[in-house]
Each structure stands twice: as C-alpha cells, then as structure tokens.
C-alpha cells in the first residue's frame, strides 16, 4: 500500500518522519509524494502553537475533499495525537481513522492494518520511559545535513509547554549508538550532523554528558560540522563552551531560548533562571568565543505580562543583540500548567503591538550583526544549487548558521567554498566565491 507523509513543526518532527518512513518500509509499505494515489495519508503534527493545530485541521479537510470520493485512511501522528486524541477521533467531525503518538511509531503498521481490517477508529499514544528508536535507522533525503535525536522527552515542565505531556520524560541514547549512526552518515557523504533534543545539553547516558558526546561525534572522519539544538540556559555546562571554542568541527552558534526578560514572568514560566543569570551566561559565552552567533526564542503576552515586564524583554534584547530570534504570541495550550493556573488575560491587540515592536527591534539587530560581516571571507557549505528567489545563485551556510548566497559557478552541493561577503540583509549574507576548499 502507498503511504503519503506530511510533516509540521520542529526539527524533531522532521527526524520522527524519517523514523516513520523506515518503520513503514520495513513493513513493506510504499512511500509516495502524491496525495492522489496514496491509500494511507499521514500528517506528523506539532502542538506547540494554536496556529499549527488549525493548519492541520484545515489540511485534513482539504485532503479528504480533494480525493473526490476515493477513500483513503487518514492518520494523525505526533504531538497533536497525544494532546488531542479525544477531540481528533470523536469530537471534531474530522475524517480521521487512527492516531499514533511519538513513542508509538514501531506499532504504526499494526495500527494501520487494524484500522483497515476492522474499519473502526483506533489510537496508540502510550508514552514510554525507554523508547529512543536507537534500533531504527532513519530514511533520509540526500543532502548535506542529517538530524540525529540524541535524546527524547523533557523533564523541565515549563508552564507554557506541552512537550513533557506529548513526548514524555527525558531519556538519552547510548553514545556508542549515536557515534555508529554518525559513522554511517559519513559513509553516505553527509557533511554535517545536527544533534537534537528538547533540552539537548541535559543529555546524560550512564555518566556520559553532552560535552563528552560532542567530542565523541567530532572524532568521526568525514563529518565536518556539528550543530545542536536546543540547549537550556539553566544547565549549560561551562566545559561545553570550551569545547565549542576549541573544537573546529563544533559550529560557533548557540540557540539560547530567553522566552522573557522579566524575572517575574520567568518565574511564572518555571524557566528556573533569572535574567541576570541569562545575561551572565551570555557574557561567559562571548568570553570564550567573542563572535559566537546567538539566536533565541521569545514569548510575548504571557499571562499577567505588564508594560514593565515587556520593557525587561526589550532591555535584554538591546543588551544581547541576538543575531536572530523566533518571537511568538503566547498561545494557551491544553493540559499545560499555565492553562490550568493562569487565565490568558493579555488582549490580542496588546500581544500584536508587542510582537510588532520586538520584530522591528530584532530586524535592526539582525541587520547590524550581518553588516559586521561585509568584507570578511566565510567558509560556506553549499546546501542548494538554487535559492528561493533565483536560479542563478547557490545557497549555503557559514559556521554560524547564517545563510550565504553567491553566484553559480563550477561548484556542487556538499562542497566547502570561501565566499567574500559584499552585501547583507537582516536574513542573509551575499557575496562572491573566492576559492573552493579542496581539502574539505
């Protein structure tokens, strides 16, 4: 039977889709890129934002109608499956036949077969304390970067976040298992790996911490760049900063979620650090490596956020000057502590005003940061032979994960090339190729 898969949300969801593909192929299902001839339609979903939920609901209706009466089984995977299983199957009038949570993908073939055989709606959203899918090798698209989940779940229980309820508790994969997967990826000519975890720097497997894991992965020949996301400011090991500064394979970019610049709001969010501790960590990072690229996440309009709290967030942004930021309006999520304890009391127009101000400020900072690169030569890993706006340009990324665009030449995806930066926007660096790095 032919299966069509569609993915929403974060890099972890992208990785989980690669796991699902491997499980289905092992069970003799066939993957297709067409919704027209698929007999099974699967949506791997995110539940972090309300917008993501609405998008999936709309997509289910669209898939159902575009089939013109030709029946296909529709399954919902991922965080929405765990968080909204009753609504999805019984309360939404959506044409959904089965759902499977993030820890149930090995049982997905049986779930599909049961739905086909018995014609009823089924779900499996059991959360595991042990499942890491370390025995499943993901089916990846060819490219330069491979995602690798080194751990799953989260123990932080930030009050706004559904992840502990949709993905379960923290558990880490064995470092030897991760290193073996990295070696296999190097053999398939991937040049970069990105290590994933909801709180990746809390990785721990029988005394092996995240810093040791990074060192172990960096020993693999053929892998030239190592990235990771996302760390948590509360337990950022200082030895990790030293390794990042000294190890040439570990990229000089950290995604460091701030969420808010007010201690009162951080406490309500259960972030377990203060703005002062966050700022001290930023100072330490830059002391180890002055040009470290810093990006962040920020939530505006968290319950009870007042003008003083919001001013605190602006203050931190102005002080740190992040290279980029993902800024979101607070969205009340079912089953979270915030949903149970704090009324969503910030008017929508106030949230809108605040997010506009922060986005404008971040645009200024991003442009300022990027202008500092004009005239510099960057080592770029070529990712695409076209860009979104031009078929005449190549696109790659530098060590700091900034997009670099340059005119086409006798180059290929996966090559490293030196590019001199000539101009910038808040989002990209633009330049001209200087030379190909043949030894890379």
pLDDT digits (tens, 9 = 90+) for 321-362: 999 999 999 999 888 999 999 999 999 999 999 999 999 999
At residue 222 the predicted structure's pLDDT band, cuts being 50, 70 and 90, is: very high
Asked whether the beta carbons of 229 and 196 are under 8 A apart, the reply is yes
Residue 391 pLDDT > 90: no
pLDDT tens-digit readout, 105-120: 999 999 999 988 987 8
At residue 28 the predicted structure's pLDDT band, cuts being 50, 70 and 90, is: very high
pLDDT at residue 386, as a whole number: 79
Average pLDDT over every residue of 79-108: 87
Residue 298 pLDDT > 70: yes
Residue 62 pLDDT > 90: no
* Per-residue DSSP letter, 90: I
pLDDT at residue 90, as a whole number: 75
pLDDT tens-digit readout, 245-275: 999 999 999 999 999 999 999 999 999 999 9
- Beta-carbon neighbour count of residue 173 at 10 Å? 20
Residue 94 pLDDT > 90: no
pLDDT at residue 67, as a whole number: 64
pLDDT at residue 120, as a whole number: 81
**Cβ within 8 Å of residue 390, ≥6 positions away:** 405
Residue 152 pLDDT > 70: yes
Question: What is the four-CA torsion angle of 326, 328, 331, 333, rounded to 10 degrees?
Answer: 10
Angle between helices 238-246 and 210-218 (to 10 degrees): 20
pLDDT tens-digit readout, 175-204: 999 999 999 999 999 999 999 999 999 999
Nearest to 211 by CA among 195, 225, 224, 198: 195
| Beta-bridge mates of residue 308 | none
Beta-strand runs (E) in 317-358: 324-329
At residue 52 the predicted structure's pLDDT band, cuts being 50, 70 and 90, is: confident
- Name the residue with higher pLDDT: 175 or 439: 175
What is the percentage of the chain residues whose pLDDT exceeds 90? 81
pTM for this predicted structure: 0.95
**What whole-number distance in Å separates Cα of residue 77 and Cα of residue 263?**
36
349-386 burial, b if ≥16 CB within 10 A, otherwise e?
ebbeebbeebeebbeebbeebbeebeeeebbbbbbeee
At residue 434 the predicted structure's pLDDT band, cuts being 50, 70 and 90, is: very high
pLDDT at residue 436, as a whole number: 86
Residue 313, H or E segment: helix 307-320
Asked whether the beta carbons of 385 and 414 are under 8 A apart, the reply is no
**What whole-number distance in Å separates Cα of residue 83 and Cα of residue 69?**
30
Beta-strand runs (E) in 51-165: 73-78, 98-100, 122-124, 145-149, 151-152
Average pLDDT, the chain: 94
Residue 219 pLDDT > 90: yes
**What whole-number distance in Å separates Cα of residue 184 and Cα of residue 260?**
40
The stretches of 189-306 forming alpha helices (DSSP H) are: 210-218, 238-246, 263-269, 275-288
- Sheet of strand 30-32: strand arrangement: 30-32, 2-7, 40-45, 73-78, 98-100, 122-124
Which domains can be identified in the chain, with CATH numbers? 2-124 (3.40.50.12160), 140-251 (3.30.750.210), 287-372 (3.30.750.200), 377-436 (2.40.50.140)
């Amino acid at each position: 039977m032919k299966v069509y898969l569609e993915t929403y949300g974060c890099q972890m969801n992208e990785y989980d889709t690669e796991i699902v593909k491997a499980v289905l192929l092992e069970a003799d299902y066939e993957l297709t890129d067409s919704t027209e001839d698929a007999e099974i339609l699967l949506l791997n979903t995110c539940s972090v934002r309300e917008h993501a939920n609405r998008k999936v609901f709309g997509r289910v209706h669209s898939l159902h109608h575009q089939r013109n009466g030709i029946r296909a089984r529709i399954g919902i995977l991922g965080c929405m499956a765990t968080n909204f299983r009753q609504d999805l199957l019984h309360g939404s009038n959506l044409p959904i036949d089965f759902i499977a949570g993030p820890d149930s993908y090995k049982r997905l073939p049986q779930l599909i077969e049961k739905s086909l055989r018995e014609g009823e709606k089924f779900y499996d959203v059991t959360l595991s304390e042990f499942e890491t899918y370390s025995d499943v090798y993901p089916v990846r698209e060819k490219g330069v970067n491979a995602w690798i989940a080194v751990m799953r779940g989260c123990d932080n229980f930030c009050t706004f976040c559904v992840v502990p309820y949709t993905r379960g508790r923290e558990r880490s994969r064995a470092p030897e298992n991760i290193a073996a997967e990295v070696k296999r990826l190097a053999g398939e000519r991937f040049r970069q790996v990105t290590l994933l975890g909801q709180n990746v720097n809390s990785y721990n497997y029988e005394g092996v911490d995240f810093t040791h894991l990074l060192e172990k992965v960096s020993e693999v020949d053929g892998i030239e760049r190592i990235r990771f996301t996302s760390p948590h400011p509360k337990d950022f090991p200082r030895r990790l900063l030293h390794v990042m500064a000294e190890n040439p394979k570990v990229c000089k970019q950290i995604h460091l979620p701030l969420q808010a610049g007010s201690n009162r709001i951080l406490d309500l969010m259960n972030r377990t650090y203060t703005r002062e501790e966050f700022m001290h960590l930023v100072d330490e990072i830059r002391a180890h490596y002055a040009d470290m690229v810093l990006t962040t996440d920020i939530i505006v309009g968290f319950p009870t956020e007042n003008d003083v709290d919001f001013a605190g967030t602006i203050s931190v942004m102005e002080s740190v000057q992040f290279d980029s930021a993902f800024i979101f309006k607070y969205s009340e999520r079912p089953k979270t502590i915030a949903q149970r304890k704090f009324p969503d009391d910030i008017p929508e127009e106030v949230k809108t005003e605040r997010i506009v101000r922060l986005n404008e400020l971040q645009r200024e900072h991003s442009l300022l940061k990027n202008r500092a690169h004009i005239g510099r030569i960057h080592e770029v890993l070529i990712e695409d032979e076209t860009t979104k706006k031009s078929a005449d340009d190549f696109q790659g990324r530098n060590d700091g994960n900034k997009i670099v665009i340059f005119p086409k030449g006798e180059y290929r995806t996966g090559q490293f090339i030196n590019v001199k930066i000539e101009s910038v926007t808040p989002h990209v660096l633009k330049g001209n190729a200087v030379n190909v790095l043949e030894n890379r």
